[in-house]
């Protein structure tokens, strides 16, 4: 897989992996760029937006940048002004546009995903936040105790999720569960299997 910088959230993980995408003048997405080693063997393959500056035959010139997500979501197209960019390094010249793309993903897409997921009662979210704050405070006094507290929280989470996971498996379709959790179907299957203690491939 071609390398490029990506972003994820703790809750949604690889189900919503964001990055900066490139569009060519005809509206298509360029192939990953491969830079072979001078010795002739191997090389480096990347889809990082900043390499598409048209300076080499391997890298066409980008027409626009946009935020993209592994779920298929795409953000606003931000055209590149090559007259203004000139001979500047693309990463430096278009850094502000790249940051706009990242902000759209964080403040737009991931917020929308969170809102579309099934709601958790406020008293539960408040309690979880309080426990997290208390463990952070404990860590300043005794890291060992804080780690044990975190481990107990982990055990409690798995124990609490066992029967709900089995109920979801029996009563909800895979796409319904995925939508409720804000995850793709594969990550949903692994989540339920982990909490319900069954083989995800069964």
Q: pLDDT tens for residues 41-100?
A: 677 899 999 999 998 777 899 999 999 999 999 999 999 999 999 999 999 999 999 999
- What is the longest distance spanned by two Cα atoms in the chain? 62
Q: What is the reported pLDDT for 79?
A: 98
Residues 32 and 55 in one domain: yes
Q: How many domains does the chain have?
A: 2
Domain boundary among 116, 134, 150: 116
pTM: 0.89
Cα dihedral 141, 124, 148, 152 in deg (nearest 10): 160
Residues 87 and 126 in one domain: no
Residues 86 and 23 in one domain: yes
**Residue 202 included in any domain:** no
The answer to whether the CB of 114 falls within 8 A of the CB of 180 is no
Structure tokens at 90: 């693309």
Does residue 1 surpass a pLDDT of 60? no
Q: What is the reported pLDDT for 37?
A: 76
**Residue 3 included in any domain:** no
φ, ψ of residue 8 to 5 degrees: the values are -140, 160
φ, ψ of residue 180 to 5 degrees: the values are -65, -35
Q: Whole-angstrom Cα distance, residue 114 to residue 128?
A: 17
Q: What is the reported pLDDT for 202?
A: 81
For residue 34, the enclosing domain spans 13-116
Residues 28 and 104 in one domain: yes
Structure tokens at 100: 């706009």
Residues 133 and 186 in one domain: yes
**Residue 201 included in any domain:** no
């Amino acid at each position: 897989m071609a390398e490029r910088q990506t972003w994820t959230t703790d809750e949604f993980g690889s189900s919503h992996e964001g990055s900066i995408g490139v569009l060519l003048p005809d509206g298509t997405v360029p192939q990953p760029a491969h830079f072979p080693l001078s010795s002739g063997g191997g090389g480096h393959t990347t889809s990082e937006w900043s390499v598409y500056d048209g300076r080499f035959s391997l890298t066409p010139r980008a027409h626009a940048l946009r935020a993209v997500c592994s779920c298929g979501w795409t953000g606003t197209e931000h055209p590149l002004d090559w007259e203004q960019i000139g001979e500047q390094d693309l990463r430096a010249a278009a850094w502000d546009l790249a940051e706009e793309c990242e902000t759209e993903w964080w403040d737009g897409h991931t917020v929308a995903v969170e809102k579309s997921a099934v709601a958790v009662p406020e008293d539960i979210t408040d309690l979880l936040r309080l426990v997290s704050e208390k463990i952070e405070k404990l860590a300043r006094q005794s890291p060992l105790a804080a780690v044990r507290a975190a481990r107990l929280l982990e055990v409690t989470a798995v124990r609490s999720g066992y029967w709900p996971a089995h109920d979801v498996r029996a009563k909800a379709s895979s796409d319904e569960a995925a939508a409720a959790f804000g995850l793709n179907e594969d990550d949903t299957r692994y989540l339920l299997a982990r909490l319900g203690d069954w083989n995800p491939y069964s």
